[in-house]
Amino acid sequence: MDGVIALGEIGLDQKRPEREWGEQEVMFVKLLELACPRRPVILHIRGRDTYSCGVSALALRLMRENVSPTQKIHLHCFAGTLDQVLGWSAAFPRCYFSISGLAARFDEVQKSAVRGIPADRQLVETDW
């Protein structure tokens, strides 16, 4: 893994058929075995609800159980809630939140979440 600079994009996507969720969880945990704090883990977390609350909580629990709290994390295409920002930030102080062009369509809950992300933890991406 000498040439590896990041691990990703890995995660959980509950927009996929429900029959795939268990296998996704198993694979996610196996991939987390490759994580190390000096290399960022780029997470793809998608749920069926607007804010992906349930799957975000599951991913956060799995991360807490399987990686160091010093792990660098990039939450790709974040569109969640302020509670998610606070939860991820508390568990992983080196967590970054990337905001895509979808922010143009964010509701007040999501806008509040973006305002709650520390400026030094915000990333901007062009992925929709």
pLDDT tens digits, residue range 26-47? 999 999 999 999 999 999 999 9
pTM of the model: 0.94
pLDDT tens sequence across 109-118: 999 999 999 9
CA distance 124 to 89: 18
| Fold topology of 7-124 | TIM Barrel (3.20.20)
Q: Where are the domains of the chain?
A: 7-124
pLDDT score for 127: 65
Give the 3-state secondary structure of residue 95. strand
pLDDT tens sequence across 40-98: 999 999 999 999 999 999 999 999 999 999 999 999 999 999 999 999 999 999 999 99
CA distance 75 to 82: 14
CA distance 65 to 69: 10
Tokens at residue 93, please? 């102080």
Q: What is the dihedral of CA 90, 71, 18, 107, to 10 degrees?
A: 50
